[in-house]
Amino acid sequence: MRAVGLFAVFTLGKLIVLWGRDLASSVWVPLAFLWQDLALVLVFAVFDRLSRRAALNWGIYAALVAYMALNVPVARAVSSWLTWPMLRAVGGTLTDSIFHYLTCQNMAAVAALAATAVGVPRLLVRVTSRNWGRVGLAALPLVALPLVALGPLATARVETIGLDRNVVAALVLSAFPRIAPADAEGDWRESPLGPVQAEDLSSLRGVAAGRNVLLVVLESAAAGYLRPYGAAEDPMPNLTRLADDGLLAEHAYVVYPESIKGLHAMLSSAWPAFDTAPEVYARSPHPALGTLLAQAGYRTALFHSGRFMYLGMDSVVRDRGYQTLADAGDIGGNHESSFGVDEPATVERIFQWIDAGPKQQPFFVTYMPVAGHHPYDTPEPGPFLEHEEIDRYRNALDYADQALGSLLVGLRVRGLSERTLIVVVGDHGQAFGQHEGNYGHTLFLYEENVRVPLVFAAPGAIRRPRRIGRIASHVDLAPTVLDLLGLVAPQDYQGVSLLTGRAGMALFFTDYSLGFLGLRDGRWKFIYQLEDGRSKLFDLVDDPGETVNLADRQLERVAAYREHLLRWSASNVGQVSMGP
């Protein structure tokens, strides 16, 4: 009876999570989503029968029910059961986001699961007191085993975005590496279908020589929501004006849709690797941009409105050439949340640092706001009426843009505008259900997750706006900054300057839940899922919303991209696992 009760809880949990979703019309759907739960229940039933220790069995039953109840609100929000990477991200910093989901609907779902867990075993006690009830209960394994055997076949016919997994299986399997390391070499940015030439911007090399450098890494800023990238709304007018006077990369992509590994890619022009913790990047052999500029005589500092302790950021920013590091704990502020402090306080601290330095010594300062992070709270109301969550997000972007505007004004009144190279980049995107189950930023590789703004402005030196049409990547940021400053990038950098005439692909991945590998090659966007081997190919010129999968019509292209991505990811894991 405990096993049947457990299956009832798992089934109800799946129904709550899947309710209202756009599911395929197929007879395979119920089996595709429930066979893993049924398999775990059979294992539990065998243990329950052999153990004969009622207290232990009820304890395991209660623990499994409680874990399912914990997972349901999570899966309703982000379309994934908890995994090890997701559990790692849960901490004090996410307190505001967690409380955001303590809704009546989620509490009712948890209560319904608890009632089912208690009520079904009690009901079965009454049923099994009769002969027909005992016979029916004994026959259940004979029915369940064939269904479990057919489960993988059903999953192959239904796209489940990982919600077919049992909650325990999702957690356990995510603790094991999915990519085997390999000593593979190659020009990973070059398309397997042939090189492509790009506009030659080499005339801009050294145009910002001797200038200060201000790097602003925007939180959760997806390009598609911004006016310079075609959005109807303009939540960041200061960024829009800055882009009108500089270089704008039209197709810039993250390597990984999460802040910490993304920062490693930006600062050290190096690929992060699949299923690796941020701490391993503390021993990265690639010299960071801050290190190179410090060696060139720059004062260097990084100011973060959040906290370096979150998700191992400390290991990515320490020993990267920053002579001053300050986060929310150092800065203080007028407003504080679980994520950090208000942006005006950080901006003020930046200018205190600038003003305290020698006037003739150039500086390199990196500013990382937290405005834009879920739950998109701001100290004061923004310009957008908050009918939907995306409006709260736009107001958060506007708040970040106000901080950017304060930085630009502060540079101008100090006479530093035409002595500073200003770089603005998004750390990753943010999704609001544009694709089924896609919310937040870490779990998928659609454009709303991985395409970000990237702007280089040098007032007085770059005298007319230019749009860089080639594909760009986070790993290209550091070599492009060095090229604009007239400095030479290290040979082991894995990115290239966007001023060169050679175009390349952008490569990206995510491993927070399901494992996805992806690339952008000209007009083509390719996504490969490791667990089920599914491929998606989109023509972003004709289909910018990624709605029509052309994989079945471009088999040769799909095979070439898949092989390239698997070799690239294996090479990255190999390099990181071997260390310096």
CATH number assigned to the domain comprising residue 244: 3.40.720.10
* Whether residue 285 is found in the same domain as residue 399: yes
- The predicted structure's pLDDT at residue 135: 45
* Whether residue 167 is found in the same domain as residue 221: no
- The predicted structure's pLDDT at residue 114: 94
Residue in the structure block whose two tokens are 């209660």: 62
* Whether residue 280 is found in the same domain as residue 166: no
Count structural domains, the chain: 2
The tens digit of pLDDT for each residue in 452-471 reads 999 999 999 988 889 999 99
d(CA 449, CA 88): 20
Whether 450 has a pLDDT exceeding 80, the answer reads yes
The tens digit of pLDDT for each residue in 372-393 reads 988 898 998 999 999 899 999 9
- The predicted structure's pLDDT at residue 123: 81
Q: How does residue 570 score in pLDDT terms, banded at 50, 70 and 90?
A: very high
Count of beta carbons in the 10 Å neighbourhood of residue 501: 11
* Whether residue 268 is found in the same domain as residue 136: no
Greatest CA separation for the chain: 93
Q: Which of 4-8, 26-30, 74-78, 484-488: highest mean pLDDT?
A: 484-488
Residue 180: inside a domain = no
Count of beta carbons in the 10 Å neighbourhood of residue 78: 22
Q: What percent of the chain is predicted at pLDDT more than 70? A: 95
Buried b (16+ CB within 10 A) or exposed e, 311-349: bbbbbbbeebbbebbbbbeebebeeebbbbbbbbbbbbb
Residue 106: inside a domain = yes
* Whether residue 355 is found in the same domain as residue 484: yes
Of 112, 145, 173, which residue is a domain's last?
173
The tens digit of pLDDT for each residue in 505-563 reads 999 999 999 999 999 999 999 999 999 999 999 999 999 999 999 999 999 999 999 99
Find, among 107, 14, 3, 109, the residue nearest to 60 by Cα.
3
Residue bearing the bigger pLDDT, 463 or 38:
38
* Whether residue 325 is found in the same domain as residue 381: yes
The tens digit of pLDDT for each residue in 42-59 reads 888 888 878 878 889 889
Residue in the structure block whose two tokens are 């990547």: 473
Whether 97 has a pLDDT exceeding 90, the answer reads no
Count of beta carbons in the 10 Å neighbourhood of residue 110: 18
Cβ atoms of 442 and 223 within 8 Å: the answer is: no
| Lowest-pLDDT range of 211-220, 278-287, 428-437, 514-523 | 278-287
Angle of helix 54-78 relative to helix 29-51, nearest 10 degrees, comes to 160
Residue 540: inside a domain = no
d(CA 67, CA 337): 28
Collapsed DSSP state (helix, strand, coil) of residue 308: coil
The tens digit of pLDDT for each residue in 133-162 reads 454 455 567 677 888 899 999 999 999 999
Cβ atoms of 256 and 443 within 8 Å: the answer is: no
- The predicted structure's pLDDT at residue 128: 63
Residue 247: inside a domain = yes
Calculate the CA 236 to chain-centre distance.
22
* Whether residue 159 is found in the same domain as residue 231: no
* Whether residue 375 is found in the same domain as residue 232: yes
- The predicted structure's pLDDT at residue 137: 52
* Whether residue 163 is found in the same domain as residue 250: no
Residue 561: inside a domain = no
Residue 514: inside a domain = no
Collapsed DSSP state (helix, strand, coil) of residue 533: coil
The tens digit of pLDDT for each residue in 156-201 reads 999 999 999 999 999 999 999 999 999 888 889 999 988 877 788 9
Q: Which of 142-146, 471-475, 498-502: highest mean pLDDT?
A: 471-475
* Whether residue 156 is found in the same domain as residue 226: no
H or E segment to which residue 470 belongs: strand 466-473
Residue 179: inside a domain = no
Collapsed DSSP state (helix, strand, coil) of residue 237: helix
What is the chain's length? 580
Residue 229: inside a domain = yes
- The predicted structure's pLDDT at residue 576: 81
Of 501, 516, 542, which residue is a domain's last?
501
d(CA 107, CA 230): 40
The average confidence (pLDDT) of the chain is: 91
The tens digit of pLDDT for each residue in 265-295 reads 999 999 999 999 888 988 888 999 999 999 9
| Lowest-pLDDT range of 84-93, 434-443, 489-498 | 84-93
The answer for residues whose C-beta is within 8 angstroms of residue 188's C-beta and 6 or more apart is: 271, 494, 505, 507, 564, 568, 571
Residue in the structure block whose two tokens are 């092989």: 563
Q: How does residue 95 score in pLDDT terms, banded at 50, 70 and 90?
A: low
Find, among 423, 522, 433, the residue nearest to 215 by Cα.
423
Whether 23 has a pLDDT exceeding 50, the answer reads yes
Of 173, 205, 222, which residue is a domain's last?
173
User: Which structural domain range is residue 421 located in?
Assistant: 213-501
Cβ atoms of 14 and 113 within 8 Å: the answer is: no
* Whether residue 465 is found in the same domain as residue 411: yes
Give the per-residue SS3 of 417-451. HHHEEEEEEECCCCEECCCCCCEECCCCCCHHHHE
* Whether residue 353 is found in the same domain as residue 494: yes
